[in-house]
C-alpha cells in the first residue's frame, strides 16, 4: 500500500471526546498527495474532498461529529494544502483530479467507498461517481451541484481564457516574487476572499494553507488553480440522470434562496438556466431535497447543522451487499446565509 501514516495526534471535539488523527502521505509521479485520516483501519471507508482553494482541514470540525467507527480519509488535492503542485505547464482540471482520486483509492486498496465532497470536491465526486459507479456506495455533496456545466455557446471563450491565462502566467512567473505575509495579514486576506468563513474556520484552513519562510509565511496553494479550467462540459448526459432514482422530500421552512454562497456564483441568467436544468434533472428522477440553514462553509463553521443529516443518510443507505444493492448520491447544497438544501439521489450499480 503506497501510503504512510505519521504524526498521530488527538483532536478535541466540542463534546470533549478524543479522536485519533493521522497524516496521509502518498507518492505520485510529480510529488505527493497529502491528507489526514480519522477512525479505525477497518472502518467503513469514507473519502473526503475539499473545495477550491481550501484543503482537507475543511473537515476538521465535521468528521468528529460523524460515527467514530467509520474510517475517513481527507486529502489535500493537487496544488492545495500540503500536496505537491502539478508540474510546470500542466493545467488543473476536473478529469485530472478524478485521476488523482483513482490513484488514492488504488493506494488505499478500497473496492467500495463513500464520498463527502464540498464545492469543487463535490464536482470531482460527481464526475468520479459517473465514471466509476461500481466503486461508489454513497456521495454527500456539500454546496455543490455535482457537476460544473458551461453553456455550449461559451465553451470557446472560457477555454481560450484558460489557455491565454496559463501562457500569461508562464511569461510573468519569473518576474513575480512570491508574496510573504505576516500570519495576521494572511488571515485577513483569506477572510476577505472568503466572507463565508468564520475566523475560527480560517485559522483551521491556514494550518495547511501556509508555509513558514524567511520573513513570514506564504500560501501553499498553487496560483494556477485560479486560472480558468480549460476542460469543460455542457450539461451532463441524460445517462447521468436516467440511472438516478429516489424520493423527493423538502424539509425547508422557507422556499427563499439566499443571496450569498455558491448560488451567487451562478447569478447570470444563462448560468441559472444551466443549474436549474441540472437540479430539475435530479428532481425529475425523484431526488430528495432538504433545506438547511447555513452558507458556503456551513459544514466547517457550524458542522452540527449538517452532521446529523449526513450521519442519518449514510447510516440508512449503508451497503446491504445484496444483489439489489444500490449506490446513493446525496447532494447537500447550502446556498447562502439563509437556507441551502440537501438533495439525496440513488444510483443503481451498472
Q: How far apart are CA 242 and CA 138, in angstroms?
A: 17
Q: Give Cα separations from 225 to 5, 51, 72 (angstroms).
A: 27, 11, 25
Do 258 and 335 contact (CB within 8 A), yes or no?
A: yes
Q: What is the DSSP letter of 28?
A: E
Residues present in the chain in total:
350
Residue 114: burial class (beta carbons within 10 Å; 0-12, 13-18, 19+): buried
Three cell numbers, residue 257: 434562496
Q: Give Cα separations from 309 to 141, 206, 208, 255, 330 (angstroms).
A: 12, 27, 28, 19, 10
Within 8 A by CB and 6+ apart from 90, the residues are 30, 96
Give me the active site residues, please: 119
Q: Which residue has the cell 455557446?
A: 153
For 74, list phi and psi in degrees, rounded to 5: -110, 125
Amino acid at each position: 500500500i503506497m501510503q504512510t501514516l505519521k504524526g498521530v495526534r488527538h483532536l478535541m471535539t466540542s463534546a470533549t471526546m478524543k479522536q485519533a488523527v493521522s497524516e496521509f502521505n502518498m507518492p505520485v509521479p510529480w510529488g505527493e498527495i497529502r491528507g489526514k485520516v480519522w477512525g479505525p483501519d477497518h472502518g467503513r471507508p469514507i473519502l473526503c474532498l475539499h473545495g477550491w482553494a481550501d484543503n482537507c482541514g475543511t473537515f476538521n470540525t465535521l468528521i468528529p461529529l460523524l460515527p467514530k467507527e467509520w474510517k475517513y480519509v481527507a486529502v489535500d488535492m493537487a496544488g492545495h494544502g500540503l500536496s505537491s503542485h502539478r508540474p510546470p505547464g500542466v493545467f488543473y482540471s476536473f478529469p485530472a483530479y478524478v485521476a488523482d482520486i483513482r490513484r488514492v483509492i488504488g493506494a488505499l486498496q478500497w473496492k467500495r467507498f463513500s464520498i463527502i465532497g464540498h464545492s469543487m470536491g463535490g464536482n470531482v465526486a460527481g464526475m468520479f461517481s459517473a465514471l466509476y459507479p461500481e466503486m461508489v456506495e454513497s456521495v454527500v455533496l456539500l454546496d455543490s451541484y455535482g457537476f460544473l456545466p458551461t453553456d455550449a455557446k461559451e465553451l470557446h471563450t472560457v477555454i481560450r481564457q484558460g489557455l491565454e491565462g496559463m501562457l500569461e502566467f508562464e511569461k510573468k512567473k519569473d518576474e513575480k516574487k512570491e508574496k510573504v505575509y505576516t500570519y495576521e495579514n494572511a488571515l485577513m486576506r483569506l477572510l476577505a476572499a472568503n466572507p463565508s468563513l468564520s475566523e475560527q474556520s480560517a485559522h483551521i484552513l491556514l494550518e495547511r494553507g501556509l508555509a513558514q519562510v524567511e520573513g513570514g509565511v506564504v500560501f501553499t496553494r498553487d496560483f494556477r488553480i485560479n486560472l480558468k479550467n480549460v476542460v469543460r462540459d455542457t450539461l451532463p448526459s441524460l445517462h447521468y440522470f436516467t440511472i438516478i432514482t429516489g424520493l423527493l422530500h423538502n424539509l425547508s421552512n422557507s422556499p427563499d434562496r439566499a443571496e450569498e454562497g455558491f448560488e451567487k456564483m451562478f447569478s447570470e441568467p444563462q448560468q441559472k438556466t444551466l443549474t436549474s436544468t441540472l437540479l430539475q434533472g435530479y428532481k425529475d428522477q425523484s431526488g430528495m431535497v432538504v433545506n438547511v440553514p447555513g452558507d458556503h462553509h456551513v459544514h466547517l463553521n457550524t458542522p452540527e447543522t449538517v452532521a446529523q443529516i449526513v450521519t442519518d443518510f449514510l447510516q440508512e443507505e449503508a451497503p446491504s451487499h445484496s444483489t439489489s444493492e444500490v449506490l446513493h448520491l446525496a447532494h447537500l447544497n447550502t446556498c447562502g446565509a439563509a437556507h441551502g438544501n440537501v438533495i439525496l439521489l440513488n444510483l443503481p450499480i451498472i
